[in-house]
Structures are given as structure tokens and as C-alpha cells.
Structure 1
Amino acid sequence: MKILMVNTLFYPHVFGGAEKSVQLLSQGLADQGHEVVVVSVAPARDVKYVGGLKVYYLPPHNIYWGGMFGRAGRLKKLLWHLGDIFNPGIYRELSGIADRERPDIIHTHMLTGLSAAPWVIARRRGIPVVHTLREYSLICESATMFRDNTNCSGQCRACGAFTALKKYLCNHGTIKHVVGLSNFIIARHLQQGYFKGVPYSRVFNGIEVPTTPSRLLPGLAGPVKILYLGRIERGKGVWEILEAAQQMAGIELYLGGRVLDDEIREKIKQQKYPAHIQFLGFIDPQEILDQIDVVIVPSRWHEPFGRVVIEAYQYGKPVIASHRGGLPEIVIEGKTGFLYNPDHVQELLAILKRLTTDPGLIPALHSHIAEHLQQFDNNHIARQYEQIYQSVIKHDIN
């Protein structure tokens, strides 16, 4: 089977978990004998082979590359979004790729920067499309449904205008199967009127599961070492964990990621945080995960999945996570970690107190993780997608 894998970004342009997940899935499918061709957006046009995968990098055909989005002003962002409703340049180049590669199926993921062009191309050529929901860009122009430190209850008028074409294509036969990383993200799209009558499935992100179970390293007699990985900003729940950490003895909090919150950045400059709170800057998770005891994912927004959770499991680390979005579907309360309401810091403090006063708790959580991790095995995830592709093609032929 020949699969055209389409995502906003691809290696080496890795800004988050989606790029890692799409690459792992593509490689997993290739390992099972399928031919996978990848299309993404990059600063300049190129064709390269990455881990045996043929990758087309398309220029943005917009006023700037999406990877620079955070540095653009308000007017430029508005113009960029208008250009991303339907991008003729992307349509022209991707049409040529589709005609040249002749895929059996097009699998789309994040379409920011690619516009609705991949779906229009598939529709006009009769190529079936499977789409994976990794964020909320089909509903919300910021892709988060989170504004002013609050989760949006529905779609605003502006976002409705920007996403109208994609919504139309979702509901008029273009998408043959939709996949969500969580039941939560599927339900959120269905509630907003997307994918009417389209079959859907939940398929988790994949990870390379260690061939030998991770061992719990000694040294838990000292402070409990807690790690946060991600953007350091309000929507990620960082304020709340900083507040809790300043009230707790017996822990060390390490934060790895870019500081995007101005107030936190100023406090770091003025050295207002105590010594047991350390900001590490951007860091590769593999450099630190084996040195800590627990990972925390405190998101205030409705995180669709939370790749850092399974990266923690990969190292045998339990996870403390907010009860938001898809996180409760992958963090099992009392087995692989704990869940709390991010609106109530006292719930987080109670969990931290348990970890610091019960020396047997972390080893007990660790013992459940290896078994739980198997459902995220990348080969298993690739086989699930293979079954979806086969059912879509069979239905399309009939």
C-alpha cells in the first residue's frame, strides 16, 4: 500500500509531539512493508530521504513560514490565516506530488500551513482520506480552543469563518475515516458539528517500547524530583505548579522548556524562586528523564493527548496530570500516576504530600507502568492504522 502522509511539519523541523508521532508512525508503517511518502511545509522547497522515507518539503506560499508564527505581528497573523483558508501555491505543488506518487490513501494530520488544499486534491482525484485529530485547528484558528486562560465552550464567529471550508469538506464525503488521539478530542469535534456520519476510532500516539523493562534507580530517599517539560506559559498550568512547589518541602521541581510567560521570565531574572525550583531551558527529554522520579503534566487547556506522558512511561516514571482533555485516558489514577483539578492547587499539594511521605508509593506506581506501556507500542499503533486503511479502501472500492 502506498500512503501519502501529510503534516504541517516534519523532521528536522520538530516543535512538538506531533512531528515526533507522525515520524514514528510513518517509519512503523514502512517497517511493515508499506511505501510511505511524506509531505510537509518548510522554509524552502526540498526533497530528502529521512530514515528511508521520501519527504517533500514545500515552501509556505504564504507571507511567512508557519514555524515563525510566534514572532509575527497581529496584522501579519491575520493575513497569514486568510491565506491558509485555501492556499493555491500549496494546491499546485501538492497536486503534482499526488499525480506523480499516485498514493492509495492520503493520511492527513495537522493542516496548518497546508490549508484545505490536501483534501480538495484528494476529493478531485477520488483518493480516500484518513484524518488524525491532533489538535483543534479545524475548529479554532489558534488550534487550542483556549483564550484568556479559559477553555472555549464552543466556536467563535471568527474561527467559524476561518474554518468553514474545512468543515464543509469534513461533512461532505472527503474524509472516509477520522482518528482521534483521545475520545475527548473526537467528542469535541462531533459536538461542534464536524465529521457527520464519518466512521471514527481512537488510536493513541506510538512510542518505541523498551525491550527490557526500565529499572527504578536508587536514591529516592532524598527530595522527590519532579519534572515539567513543555512551554512555560499560563495555559500549560505552570503558574499552579510553581505555587504548589513554593509551599512544599521535600521536593525539587525542574522545568524544561522555553519561558514564554513575561512575569515568570522577570521573576527568574530577579532570582525570586527558591533553590529547589530550577529552570533548565529547552532540553531533550532523554537527557533528564532517567534522573528524576515523577513527571508532571499540569495543562489547563484540554490537552488532546500529552506525548510527554508516554515518554515518561518509557523511562518507567509515573505521571501527575491535570484532569483535562485526553489526559485521564492515558494516566490511570493510582496505577500509573495521579490526576487533579488544575483549578484547585490543594489537590496537587495533597498528591505531592503523599509522594514525599510514603516512600513505597513511587515504586508501587513504577511496577504498573511496563504493562500499561504496551498499548502505546509503535508497531501496535501502525497495525491499527493499517487496519483502518484497509477498511477504508475496501469500502471505497465497494
Structure 2
Amino acid sequence: MTGAGTTGAGIGMTGAELNRPRIAVLADWWWPNLVGGAERSARSAALELARTAEVAVFVPAPADEVYSDGPLTVHAVRRPYARRVHADSALRRGLELLTAWLLPAVASRQIRALRAYRPDVVVATNVSRTGPWLLRWARASGVRLVRSYHDLSDTCWRRSRRRGTENCAEICAGCRVKTGVMRRATPPTAVAVCVSGFVRDELERAGLTSRETSLVAYPLVGAPGGASATYRPDPMRLVLGYLGRVAPVKGVEAAIRTAAAYRRNTGAAVTLLVAGDGQPDYLRELAALAAAQQVDVDFAGQLDVEAFCARIDAALIPSTWMEPFGRVAVEVGSRGRPMLVSRVGGLPEAAAVSGGRFAFTDFADPEAAARALGELLDGRTDATTAPAPGAAMPLEQGVLTAVARALEGWPGNREEQPA
């Protein structure tokens, strides 16, 4: 990125308590503990910005509310058909999607709130719940914009570039419509922060950003040398673990089959710990598969990372969809547990920046995955790839850098900013 040597340390200007830039953060949700990693990362970056700037968050909501989140002021702005909870009814989700993209009026209240706030910089994270209208407003009004891309939602209606059981190597016909809309809505001067090189490459191919106007910053980075390189489980009594959302796209069935293949090949006693929530019907399907494969599976529900790592010898990360990044790989790898990782999306980068020990495999072939697991446990793999821990930029620093870039030449005079 041009000017990537700039840091965010000075965005508040020296001695500028009365001259702090105003930053508006746009997001779909502000329930970071209830939704997912993208929301946690957005909040973490906003809190870092608040050290040297005045930061307000604007999100769509069923009703108007203004409240404080530490140093942040959150403006929950009413919009028609807004979801009351993340997993609301199918009808309400459908109405929200249709109105967000077909009716510009759904974003009018948020635009009025933003205009009244008069930001110097807008940091837009995921904004699908209000369609392209907030970005169009930023482009038309000339407000400096930073796009923080946490996924591929600008190139896919489903946010995942997946149709049925297959990943889309290319943007499909229906999603090209959304990509074109977002390309036209995004200001050409916007600075992009992408959560992985994979995400940046895909967005660059779609014409939504470029190498000159973007940077890669990871939501989570392991500490250099923080993971144990000599961890060796007992190969005859092995506890494998899966951590995350329990859903078909996460490859949990493949994890069960891999554990079964390893048990058959080695004669070891194998248990698979599955930590996370899933639909009851799907959990029953997984239990039936485990019984058929003669593998002991412990469905433990929600566990924090420390408790999970304390109970396992190695982790399986068998996702089948193109993960934008993969926080679990960093969380587990940085705690010294070896990981067998699916080579899709941003997972290879997440494994590399974890500081842990890992190997890649194709979980669609359980026998090959079991052999790769054995090599990993025996210490016979070397999957270290760039970027190494310490060389990677954390997301908070990336957003600071992008905001500093957007503020270059900022006069510090709000009267001159676009209304």
C-alpha cells in the first residue's frame, strides 16, 4: 500500500485534545460477544481508535437507542424490518435483505445521523444490512472512507462465495450484480484493510480494491515463540478436538471420519471433543455417524479456548468453505496444540501467524488426512509459511494505519468537512 509506513500513532495530532478527529464506525451489529469474530475485531479496532480520536458507532436496529460502550458512543438507528436478534425468523431476515438492497429509504435515518455527526473519517466494516446506500453517501459527500473487509460479502449474497456444497472459484452470475453495485458505491479513494491476503486477492480480482490502496492486517496474531514446538501427545490415547460452530460447512463430519481412520490405522484409543453449538438435528446426525465409525465423540457445547486446549492433544480444523481468516487456528496454535488444517481460504495464513505447529490436508480423503495427522504428531511435518509471527500486522494496527492514511492533509477544521 502506498504510504504503508505510516502508523496510526499520531491520528489524534500532538497536543490535540481539542482537535481530535471524528471517526464514524459503520457495522451491521454491535453485539460482539453474541455474533462472531468479525464483530469482535471491529470493536477491538474501534477501541484502539478511541485512544486518539472521538469515535461513534452507527448500526441499524429495530428501535432508536444511544448508549456508551466504554469510550465509544453507539448510535443504534431504527430502520424498517431490522432484525431484532442475529438469528431472527426467516421471514424477517428475508424482508431485511430485500428492503436493504431495493429501498434506499431504509438507510435514510442512518445517513441523517451520520450527517449530523460530521465525521472526518468513516470506517465501514460489514454493511450488508443497509445495502450500498451508506457507501454511496460517503462517495457523494466526499467523506474520507476506510473499508475494513472481514469477509467476501461484497462479492457474494451469502457472504461465503459458496453455493450448495461447492465453493465458487469465480463470482457467479447472481453475485456479479452485488459486486458491481458495491464497486460503483465505494469511493475510489477508499483505503481498504483486508483480514487476509486471500481476501485482498479476491477483492482485487473483483475490482473492489488494489494493492496500492489496500493492506492486509490479521484479526489475531500469535506471539513469536509463544507456542510449544516440542509438544508430543501420547499416540496410544489421543484426544482430538474441534472448536467452532457445529455446521456442515465446518467439516465436522470429515473430522469424525479422520479420527476413525487414525484409530483403524494405529490401534490408538481416539476421542473427538466437539466444542461449539449446533442445530439439534445436525448434532444427532453427527452422533449417528460417530457410532457408525466407532469413534467416541464428546459433544461438550460451548468451551472457551483455554478449557478446550487443556482437554485435547491436537486440533482438527476441517472447514470446507473459504474461511476469510480463521481465528481458531491462531487461538489453538498459539497455545501449543498441533493443528491439522484444511487448505482453504485464509486458513493457511491463520495457521502461519499462529506461531504453532501445523500441517495441511484434504479432509475429503480421511485416509490421507489420518496419515497427515500421524506425521504431524510425530513431528515429521514442516508447514511453516510466511508471514511469520511478528512480521504480520494486527487488525487494530491496520485500521490505525489506514485511518492515518485517510487523514493525510486533514486540516483539523470540522467546519470545512462535508456536511
TM-score class normalised by the smaller sequence: 0.7 to 0.9
Normalising by structure 1, report the TM-score.
0.82
Alpha-carbon distance between aligned partners in 2 of 1:197 and 1:223, rounded to the nearest angstrom: 48
- The reply on whether 1:46 has 2:65 as its aligned counterpart is yes
1:342-366 deviation digits (Å, cap 9, x = unpaired): 333333211222355x3x679x99x
**Superposed counterparts of 1:169-188, under 5 Å:** 169-170=185-186, 173-174=187-188, 176-188=190-202
Among 278, 288, 291, which residue is 2:298 paired with? 278
Secondary structure of the 1:58 match is strand
Query: Residue 220 of structure 1: CA displacement?
Result: 3.6
Q: Which residue of 1 aligns with 2:274?
A: 255
Alpha carbons of structure 1 residues 223 and 111: separation in structure 2 relative to 1, 3 Å: farther
1:83-116 deviation digits (Å, cap 9, x = unpaired): 1216545522222332333222111111121222
| Alignment length (residue pairs) | 382
Among 30, 53, 57, which residue is 2:50 paired with? 30
Which protein shows a greater Rg? 2
Q: Which runs of 5+ in 2 are unaligned?
A: 1-20, 412-419
Query: Residue 294 of structure 1: CA displacement?
Result: 2.6
Q: Which residue of 2 aligns with 1:154?
A: 170
Asked whether the 8 Å contact 1:181–1:304 carries over to 2, the reply is: yes
Secondary structure of the 1:68 match is coil
Among 296, 305, 308, which residue is 2:325 paired with? 305
- The reply on whether 1:205 has 2:219 as its aligned counterpart is yes
Q: Which residue of 2 aligns with 1:336?
A: 357
Query: Residue 396 of structure 1: CA displacement?
Result: 7.7
1:311-341 deviation digits (Å, cap 9, x = unpaired): 2244333332111111112323996311112
Identify which range, 139-148 or 308-317, moves more after superposition.
308-317
Secondary structure of the 1:339 match is strand
Q: Which residue of 1 aligns with 2:243?
A: 229
Q: Which residue of 2 aligns with 1:130?
A: 146
Normalising by structure 2, report the TM-score.
0.78
1:352-387 deviation digits (Å, cap 9, x = unpaired): 22355x3x679x99xx9xx95545685xx4333222
Alpha-carbon distance between aligned partners in 2 of 1:197 and 1:213, rounded to the nearest angstrom: 31
Secondary structure of the 2:315 match is strand
Query: Residue 30 of structure 1: CA displacement?
Result: 2.5
Alpha-carbon distance between aligned partners in 1 of 2:80 and 2:346, rounded to the nearest angstrom: 34
1:215-250 deviation digits (Å, cap 9, x = unpaired): 799994363332212222222122211111122234
Alpha carbons of structure 1 residues 212 and 235: separation in structure 2 relative to 1, 3 Å: closer
Relative contact order (C-alpha < 8 Å, sep 6+): which is higher?
2
Secondary structure of the 2:174 match is helix
Identity of aligned residues (%): 22
Asked whether the 8 Å contact 1:227–1:253 carries over to 2, the reply is: yes
List 4+ stretches of structure 1 deviating above 6 A: 209-212, 214-219
1:5-62 deviation digits (Å, cap 9, x = unpaired): 212112356321111111122222334x233222223454322222332222234422
- The reply on whether 1:67 has 2:86 as its aligned counterpart is yes
Alpha-carbon distance between aligned partners in 1 of 2:300 and 2:62, rounded to the nearest angstrom: 29
Alpha-carbon distance between aligned partners in 2 of 1:46 and 1:217, rounded to the nearest angstrom: 52
Q: Which residue of 1 aligns with 2:133?
A: 117
1:47-79 deviation digits (Å, cap 9, x = unpaired): 22223322222344226447135x405xx6554
Q: Which amino acid aligns with 2:31?
A: Y
Q: Which runs of 5+ in 1 are unaligned?
A: none
- The reply on whether 1:14 has 2:34 as its aligned counterpart is yes
Alpha carbons of structure 1 residues 197 and 259: separation in structure 2 relative to 1, 3 Å: closer
Asked whether the 8 Å contact 1:231–1:260 carries over to 2, the reply is: no
Query: Residue 282 of structure 1: CA displacement?
Result: 3.2
Alpha carbons of structure 1 residues 56 and 174: separation in structure 2 relative to 1, 3 Å: farther
Asked whether the 8 Å contact 2:340–2:359 carries over to 1, the reply is: yes
Alpha-carbon distance between aligned partners in 2 of 1:84 and 1:149, rounded to the nearest angstrom: 27
- The reply on whether 1:345 has 2:363 as its aligned counterpart is no
Asked whether the 8 Å contact 1:233–1:259 carries over to 2, the reply is: yes
